[in-house]
Amino acid sequence: MFSTSGKAKGVTGPRICDVVWHNGQFIKWNDARVHVMSHVLHYGSSVFEGIRCYATERGPAVFRLREHMQRFLNSAKIYRMDHQWSMDDFCDASVELVRRSGLAQCYIRPILFRSLDEEHPAFGVNPFPNPLACYIGAWDWGKYLGDEAIERGVDVCVSSWNRLTPNSMPAMAKSGANYMNSQLIKMEALLNGFAEGIALDDRGYVSEGSGENIFLVSNGVVNTPPLSSSVLPGITRDSVIQICQELGITIKERSIQRAALYVSDELFFSGTAAEITPIRSVDRITIGNGGRGDLTAKIQDAFFEITSGKREPPGSWLTYVREEKVRTAVPPATGAGENGASDKKRTTSKMSPTIEPELVATGHAVAAD
């Protein structure tokens, strides 16, 4: 199960880093345990991140580490999870975790959640009496939608489940509770023979996949739904926008009608797990030539050249693990630590908007996010 063997109980599984960062120290994977009465298990009170570390000629490189951790901090702030850790704490811990893992490439998962004070347990919806716990784990994760999906594309459907309304659950936060909605979208798609589902927002406009942002190509223009369509402000989404701008490809943030999906020239998903994945059909209607389109391929090639370290990114997107200096001393792996709460607060800033919002197949304007 761990990085040395890749196997557990006779079943081949992902290679997993055998240590986990927990509340400021490294502990063994098998010691990372949560009480069954923890608040998070009953009410979904967690926020998390998904970050990829890529293999390069200069060793493992974490993709847009600080941007991911800024969103992590933002998610915690939205849910009033006041904690003691800083951006540098989380970044340093992630770099050190990858270094200890020995993995050339991996997926990094920070998670902050409301746990249980076993001496003074609290079981109600009110989250404040419950202590916070933070973990960061890592494992080697392949292509999220399958190895062939990157080149051949995937078949998807429009889900009967809508994305959450903005004033019901904050789509800007990457929270565990939001992903119950994602699970409904994903399960429906799989049971109906599709790889993924596309959700609409509460107004009927295209939102995103169960765990990916979406892009539509029409007449040489790349379009993506605005944040007002209840989409997560994706780091890979932002990367695609910047790559398009660098390549001279017109990119617009617009509300998109469902029918626009069917008549588009190209469609693709973006996300940390999905990376850049073409969509070849929607509701069994073939998109374009039924495979990866030319613009999708151009964006995809640039993205993978950047993540492999072969192309200069538009910004400081790669944190090279072997070259990064950890700012504070890190203790060796120990047994499980105790869950602890803190009333210390950290301030965070919002990700800035990227591009001007417009519309696809509609006749009215949308306010910028």
- Determine how many CB atoms are found less than 10 A away from the CB of residue 221: 17
CB–CB of 93/21 below 8 Å? Answer: yes
User: What is the token pair recorded at 194?
Assistant: 């599709």
Amino acid code (one letter) for 182: S
d(CA 26, CA 20): 6
- The Cα–Cα gap between 93 and 300 comes to 30
Neighbouring residues of 98: CB distance < 8 A, sequence distance ≥ 6: 17, 53, 60, 62, 106, 108, 138, 321
Question: Is the CB of residue 177 less than 8 Å from the CB of residue 183?
Answer: no
Determine the 3-state secondary structure of 218 from DSSP: strand
Q: Angle at which helices 294-307 and 235-247 pack, to 10 degrees?
A: 110
* Residues designated as active site: 174
